[in-house]
Amino acid sequence: MNVHPSLLPLYRGATPLQSAIRDGRTQTGVTIIAMDAGMDTGDILVTETTPLGPTETYGELHDRLAERGAALLGRAIDQLAAGTLQRTPQSQSAVSAAEIAATATRPLTKDDLKIAWEWPAARIVDTVRSLAPTPAARAVIDGQTVKLHAARVALDGESGTTADDGLVERAGDGRGVVVLRLTPPNRGAMSGAAYARSRAAV
């Protein structure tokens, strides 16, 4: 048996948690499958769906689904011992082949960590969440590459370059992204508000 942190056949592969958050999904889950020769293609034994919170990070989701996965694996083992375990081929899923292919995941590369401010604000924030706390997203601010640990979409009415809780950068869709926590080069992690103050003092 194998524990996989997604609702298979969606998000097969190495980075299902990061990919689901990055894609802005509002629900995910855990699937226990029977191992076969493919990449997460075995028969589904037990599955559980759970909401994916709008601010939940990769680290938080990882820990939460690890606990749920252990419980589900125990349930599958109990059902196997009782002779009641059911196997459902993934080919019987209502998910289309196109969506299965579109959500297939792979290991992260350095390019996957890069944020482009030309993206829509929600995409930037979701990407930051998907890489927090590690390996952390990278973005260029003031000509320097910084690590982004937390961010949110600016509220209506928030404008300028700073908010009460962080530094505001403008996204490609015209909305602001409030950087809540970051690590500048050769410095420790700090709040976006502290970084904004240090920038203003230069």
- pLDDT tens per residue across span 102-151: 999 999 999 999 999 999 999 999 999 999 999 999 999 989 999 999 99
Is 110-201 a domain of CATH 3.40.50.300?
no
Domains 2-102 and 110-201 share a fold: no
Q: Is the pLDDT assigned to residue 157 strictly greater than 70?
A: no
- Cβ pair 182, 195 in contact under 8 A: yes
Q: What per-residue confidence (pLDDT) applies to 164?
A: 76
**Proportion of the chain above pLDDT 70, given as a percent:** 95
Q: What per-residue confidence (pLDDT) applies to 165?
A: 81
Q: What is the mean pLDDT of residues 141-168?
A: 84
> What's the CA gap between 107 and 177, in Å, rounded?
27
> What's the CA gap between 107 and 135, in Å, rounded?
12
pLDDT tens by residue, 51-60: 999 999 999 9
At the topology level of CATH, where does 2-102 sit? Rossmann fold (3.40.50)
DSSP string, 8-76: TTTT-SS-HHHHHHHTT-SEEEEEEE---SSSS-SPEEEEEEEE--TT--HHHHHHHHHHHHHHHHHHH
The model's confidence at residue 201, banded by pLDDT at 50, 70 and 90, is low
Q: Is the pLDDT assigned to residue 160 strictly greater than 60?
A: no
Largest distance between two CA atoms of the chain: 70
Domain ranges of the chain: 2-102, 110-201
Q: What per-residue confidence (pLDDT) applies to 200?
A: 67
Q: What is the mean pLDDT of residues 185-202?
A: 85
Q: What per-residue confidence (pLDDT) applies to 161?
A: 63
pLDDT tens by residue, 29-39: 999 999 999 99
> What's the CA gap between 144 and 139, in Å, rounded?
8
Q: What is the mean pLDDT of residues 45-49?
A: 97
Q: What is the mean pLDDT of residues 67-92?
A: 97
Q: What per-residue confidence (pLDDT) applies to 198?
A: 83
- Cβ pair 70, 46 in contact under 8 A: no
- Report the DSSP beta bridge partners of residue 182: 148, 190
